[in-house]
Structure 1
Amino acid sequence: MSEFHDLAELALNRAGQSWGNLGYWKNASDYSDACRALATLLGEQAALDHHSIVFDAGFGCGDQLLLWLEHFGVSQISGVNLSRSQTAHARTLLAGKGQADTSAAIRRGDVNDPAIWKAALDGTKPSHVLALDCTYHFPDRLAFWGLAEQHLAPAGRLVLTDFMLDARHRTKGFRHRLLCWMLKRAHIAETNIVNEEIYRDQLVQAGYGEIIILDISEYVMPAFSAGSDRKLTWPVRCKYAVTSRFLKWAYRRSILRYCLVSATKVGGSDRRY
């Protein structure tokens, strides 16, 4: 059975790279470099260091796991990813880089499943829960935030990148209907796409404070490129050409914004999800 999240992004990368995000194109012109730049920006916002214990929700093909380990030097890492093919690729990648122990700490599963968090963390309380360019795909983002808050160490941080509705966008009319159609095609729940005011309120209700939302749209949405120099099959080229056009349209028409978000767990919690 085919997966929506598979290994298609391998064709977009340079040899030896397997990134799969929208990229941060401020100083990049190559897909692999842009993807690494977005991951680095997230790691810097999280202030990752050798004390950090990381849970990566949606680690893709594993390149970002190596970035957390090698560039930021985090002390411990675990994670969950829905895709079987990507998880298998990530395990192979980690083992090939001498990270066999880390490979054993990542799992295939649904990030909205409380049991998978318990299995992956095995009693560990992470200092950081990271979600790089994937939260909008989760079946229930609010449940994910709740599980992250439940398992984070005191004052632990949730750091992610995500789409939000532009404050100027009206949720009626042709543009919104077209947006909803595109979201459905991209396996994104409409309830995951809200404006910044609602987004902040939802984070507060989930038990977070010290919320920082940075709009990085201009370096992500209109600049995204699958790389015209790559030898891509027609289905892959078509998929990413449509993605690129949609992102440019949603940015220029003030429909969506792409943001870097960080929030801190406030106090204790007896919530259960």
Structure 2
Amino acid sequence: MENIGKIPFNYEWRNRWIIIQDFIRNPFQEIWFLRDKFEVSELYTRIAKRDRDLHDPNIPQWLNFGYWKEETTYDGACAALARKLGEIAELSPGDKVLDVGFGFAEQDILWVRENNVDAITGINTTELQVEIAQERVARAGLTERINLQVGSATEIPCEDNSFDKVTALECAFHFNTREDFFAEAFRVLRPGGKLALADCLPRMGRDIDFWLRVNSKKMCIPFANQYDRHTYVEKLKKHGFVNIQARSINEYVWPAAVRYFAEVGKGISKHELAIDLQKDNPGLEAWSRDRGWFMAFDDYLLFSGEKPD
């Protein structure tokens, strides 16, 4: 288990000063971010509307950090992360799956095609994402096997013991709260069913303080979700899950994210950039002291747990 370590004091103060300067330069936008009723659906609607390729059926609409162990393109890395989560979930033919926070449903299409799962029900709070995802599923000819709807992760509109697997690909940090989602996932899983998540969280030893609270609010992350991997496992146990696994994939996510944001910041399309961690790897610390600090998470794990038979 790697340990990123504590961010040097001088970087902490530099980052805090940047937050203060942002507020001074544009107080109205900062207040908009920090207001009580700012919701995750607003955040992702704004992000989607900025994407000029949103309605192009030939361009994938992945929306995660990606798994870059062997991939060098954004779309390839995002698909690789979905495959890793599918492995952790042990998706297999005949499975009935609930995918929570499905984004644009790229992973659902992949899991039906590659894992041959029987059926996927998807719920998502962002209506625009649901609309676009439904269009993409229809073009793929998979509407009979993938059913997507607006719904809450903490009030899942499904019967008890309905699914073989429940998945959440890089979204559970947004749920209000993640722990309430654990309870709902346990409820809708059949005995012997499995929960699998790819999730971002604070690294071990990170200060849970005022500055993390500010950044969490701007990222639509409920502050109650800000805990490390050990607490994460304990909360899964609390809600009845057994055979819990927690696998860190930090080294194949965050160093590439450093390059991703640098290149996209130059105006390069995420679909055109190339990142090769074998040749150019800035290391975990580069992410943790900059983007990781500002985005309110710098640990990345694949979690799984089972509902007892």
TM value normalised by structure 2: 0.72
Structure 2: distance between partners of 1:248 and 1:155:
41
Task: Report the Cα offset of residue 30 of structure 1.
Answer: 1.6
List runs of 5+ in structure 1 lacking aligned partners. Answer: 233-244, 268-273
Question: For 1:1-273, what aligned pairs fall within 5 Å after superposition?
Answer: 3-6=42-45, 7=48, 10=51, 15-103=58-146, 105-114=147-156, 116-118=157-159, 125-171=162-208, 176-224=209-257, 225-226=260-261, 227-228=263-264, 229-230=268-269, 249=290, 256-267=298-309
- Find the counterpart in structure 1 of residue 3 from structure 2: none
Q: Give, in angstroms, the shift of residue 9 of structure 1.
A: 8.0
C-alpha RMSD of matched pairs (Å):
2.8
Are 1:222 and 1:248, in contact at CA under 8 Å, matched by a contact in 2? no
Report how far residue 36 of structure 1 moved: 0.7
Mapped partners of 2:186, 2:108: distance in 1: 21
Does the CA contact (< 8 Å) of 1:10 and 1:19 recur in 2?
no
Where 1:222 maps in the other structure, the secondary structure is helix
- Cα deviation, residue 154, structure 1: 0.5
Partners of 1:60 and 1:189 lie apart in 2 by: 19
Q: More displaced, 190-199 or 135-144? A: 190-199
Give the C-alpha shift of residue 249 in structure 1: 2.9
Q: Is the 8 A contact 2:243 2:306 kept in 1?
A: yes
- Measured against aligned partners, the alpha-carbon deviations of 1:187-230 in whole angstroms (never above 9, x if no partner) come to 00111121222111111111101010001111112212155431
Deviations 1:2-34 (A, max 9, x none): 821132585589942011111112222221111
Amino acid at match of 2:220: H
Residues 145-169 of structure 1: per-residue CA shift (max 9 Å, x gap): 1111011011110000112332222
Q: Partners of 1:180 and 1:29 in 2: how far apart?
A: 34
Tell me, in whole angstroms, the C-alpha distance in 2 between the residues paired with 1:28 and 1:247.
Answer: 22
The residue matched to 2:43 in structure 1 has which SS? Answer: coil
Higher gyration radius (CA): 2
Query: How far has the Cα of 1:252 moved from its partner?
Result: 8.9
Aligned to 1:238: none
Q: Are the counterparts in 2 of residues 10 and 18 from structure 1 also a CA contact under 8 Å?
A: no
2:102–2:124 contact (8 Å) kept in structure 1:
yes
- Determine helix, strand or coil for the equivalent of 2:185: helix
Letter in structure 1 aligned against 2:44: H
Amino acid at match of 2:290: W
Q: What CA distance in whole angstroms lies between the structure 2 residues aligned with 1:155 and 1:137?
A: 27
- Distance (Å, rounded) in 2 between the aligned partners of 1:199 and 1:108: 26
Cα 1:11–1:223 shift into 2, 3 Å: farther
Name the CA shift for 1:129/1:9 in 2 (closer, same or farther; >3 Å).
farther
State the alpha-carbon separation in 2 of the partners of residues 10 and 32 from structure 1: 15
Letter in 2 for 1:154: P
SS at match of 1:212: strand
Give the total of aligned pairs: 245
- Secondary structure of 1:223's partner? helix
Shift in Å at residue 248 of structure 1? 5.9
CA 101–214 in structure 1, closer or farther in 2 if over 3 Å, else same: same
